Amino acid sequence: MPTGESHPGRVLNGLRLAAPHALQQLRGPRMEDISESMAWLARADGNVIVGHGPFRKTDRCPPEETAFYIRKFTSVGEALWQVPARTECLPLADFADRFPRVNPPCEWNPPDAGPFSAVFQEIMTAIRGGLFEKTVPVVVERGVCPHPAAAILGAMTRQIMPLRSYGWMNGDSGFAGATPELLLSLSGSRLETMALAGTAKTEDREVFAVDEKEIREHEYVAQTLVSKLQDLGRPIRRQREILDVGSIVHFLTLISIDLEQPEPPATLIDLLHPTPALGPLPRTEETLALLQEWRRRLGCPDQFGAPFGVWHDGRFDAVVAIRGVWWEGEKISVPAGCGIIEASRLVNEWRELRLKRDSVKRLIGAK
């Protein structure tokens, strides 16, 4: 890897540098292991699977290789598996040491409430008309940040359970986050998933625990997951609890099942994704198309809320790509979604969206 002086505009293994002093800022103990293209996903055991490019696309999971499942929120007819040229499995802390912790001077442009208000009213009309029980529009906050990859990776790779670090970068663009939401984990015949829905400030935990609207929103997700899994075996649903992820809390219900017959990861993803935590209820071609149109109008990144997974050594883990930052050059964006049901109110949902975005901005030290 070249280690000489940088110059303005140069890309060093996917981390864009704007001035000579930036190279020194980005050097870590293992900078030689940062690739021009790279993907990673942290697992519950504290290890992270890291893939280094170039990547080979394929439409099927190769059983004897490591492969990352990277897709858009809705993907049809695309090669969804990315097979890296080189793979590592190492403690997440060791991986994080490769990226210096940086507090970037980001400039943010708060989103306009007008477009969201229009979408909200359209959704409420559809709910009252019986088309939806719930759906999840997304609002995006945009900004400008020097050397965003360095700051984002330095922050997201340091997040630990219950947050799972994930990311994909290719040249001077990519996305990375720390999500609390597991879509599924598959090891042998054992499948684990979760319902994660309902949000409040941590200091409002006590009233959140008895909030009927938030409980109803969560139950939509939990009951739907159990219903979808019933044909595969006998799902076991644990008691609803509150998950604390720092500045915010969510309702969490863990669900597991021993599959009666083997199912490939992609089939299970298609069965579960999108759950009502990020998608429409009921999930039909019509309701998905409407949600996609609202996401498009509000400028949502294609991969936000999508499954992001890795197959490695006979095990598959997939998370829901939320609580992340997307970047292209120095342009950055932080998306957040909110579940809308008949009891939702515009002002409350707008506040929840800001709460979620601010929690992500705090992670990168850019609030």
Question: What is residue 135's DSSP assignment?
Answer: B
Q: Would 5 be classed as within a structural domain?
A: no
Residue 89 has pLDDT above 90, yes or no: yes
Per-residue model confidence (pLDDT) at position 13: 38
Per-residue model confidence (pLDDT) at position 242: 98
Q: Would 165 be classed as within a structural domain?
A: yes
| pLDDT average, residue stretch 259-269 | 95
- How many helical (H) and strand (E) elements, i.e. helices and strands, does the chain have? 9, 21
Beta bridge partners of 90: 48
Per-residue model confidence (pLDDT) at position 26: 40
CA distance 363 to 151: 10
Per-residue model confidence (pLDDT) at position 150: 87
- 158: helix, coil or strand? coil
CA distance 103 to 154: 9
Q: What angle do CA 283, 39, 77 make, to 5 degrees?
A: 40
pLDDT interval class at 77 (50, 70, 90): low
Q: Would 6 be classed as within a structural domain?
A: no
Averaged pLDDT score across all residues of the chain = 90
Q: Would 4 be classed as within a structural domain?
A: no
Per-residue pLDDT tens for 220-250?
999 999 999 999 999 999 999 999 998 999 9
pLDDT interval class at 75 (50, 70, 90): confident
Percent of the chain with pLDDT over 70: 89
CA distance 244 to 179: 12
Q: Would 234 be classed as within a structural domain?
A: yes
Per-residue pLDDT tens for 200-227?
999 999 999 999 999 999 999 999 999 9
| pLDDT average, residue stretch 261-288 | 96
Residue 6 has pLDDT above 50, yes or no: no
Residue 29 has pLDDT above 70, yes or no: no
Q: Would 215 be classed as within a structural domain?
A: yes
Per-residue pLDDT tens for 105-164?
889 999 999 999 999 999 999 999 999 999 999 999 999 998 899 899 999 999 999 999
**CATH for 21:** 3.60.120.10
Per-residue model confidence (pLDDT) at position 104: 79
Range of the structural domain that residue 153 is part of: 11-363
Per-residue model confidence (pLDDT) at position 4: 32
- 110: helix, coil or strand? coil
| pLDDT average, residue stretch 34-58 | 93
pLDDT interval class at 102 (50, 70, 90): confident
CA distance 121 to 144: 31
Residue 180 has pLDDT above 70, yes or no: yes
CA distance 349 to 340: 8
Q: Would 3 be classed as within a structural domain?
A: no
Residue 319 has pLDDT above 60, yes or no: yes
Q: How many domains does the chain have?
A: 1
List all residues 6 or more positions away from 230 whose beta carbon is below 8 Å from its beta carbon.
Answer: none
Percent of the chain with pLDDT over 90: 83
pLDDT interval class at 7 (50, 70, 90): very low
Per-residue model confidence (pLDDT) at position 19: 35
Q: Would 1 be classed as within a structural domain?
A: no
